[in-house]
């Protein structure tokens, strides 16, 4: 059973609009949660990591929240650009060490149109 669910599966927005991507998970323990961006045909690139209960992070136009009680995270992208077109992947780590496993969501495919 998938332990990391992302929604929506795909999303189309106009350049300049804001969007919100959702991640719900059942991984236990949930040591940390990371959002990756994957451009078409490329590898994954980390955007931000959330560690603590009710953590909030900001990285330029990307901001993210984590609610460990609800096992839920959101990724906000403000003032989208055409280059934001990509798949955004939510990953939950069950330990804070290399012995831990990463649990990957299937991703949200974001398309930004002019």
Partner 1 sequence: DMKVTQMPRYLIKRMGENVLLECGQDMSHETMYWYRQDPGLGLQLIYISYDVDSNSEGDIPKGYRVSRKKREHFSLILDSAKTNQTSVYFCASIRGAQDTQYFGPGTRLLVL
Number of other CB atoms surrounding residue 93 within 10 Å: 19
Within 8 A by CB and 6+ apart from 75, the residues are 20, 21, 23, 35, 47, 48, 62, 63, 64, 88, 90
Per rule CB under 8 A, is residue 62 in the interface with partner 1?
Answer: no
Within residues 65-104, the interface with partner 1 by CB under 8 A covers 89, 93, 96-98, 101-104
Per CB under 8 A, the list member of 19, 44, 75, 110 interacting with partner 1 is 44
> Per rule CB under 8 A, is residue 28 in the interface with partner 1?
no
Please measure the distance between the N-terminal and C-terminal CA atoms of the chain and give it in whole angstroms.
Answer: 38
Binding site for partner 1 (CB under 8 A): 2, 4, 31-32, 34, 41-46, 49, 51, 89, 93, 96-98, 101-107
């Amino acid at each position: 059973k998938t332990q990391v669910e992302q929604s929506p599966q795909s999303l189309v927005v106009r350049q300049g609009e804001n969007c919100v991507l959702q991640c719900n998970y059942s991984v236990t323990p949930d040591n940390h949660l990371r959002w990756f961006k994957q451009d078409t045909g490329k590898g994954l690139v980390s955007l931000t990591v959330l560690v603590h209960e009710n953590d909030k992070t900001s990285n330029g136009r990307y901001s993210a929240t984590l609610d460990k009680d609800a096992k839920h995270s959101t990724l906000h992208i403000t003032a989208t650009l055409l280059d934001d077109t990509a798949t955004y992947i939510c990953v939950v780590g069950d330990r804070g060490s290399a012995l831990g496993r990463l649990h990957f969501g299937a991703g949200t495919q974001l398309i930004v149109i002019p």
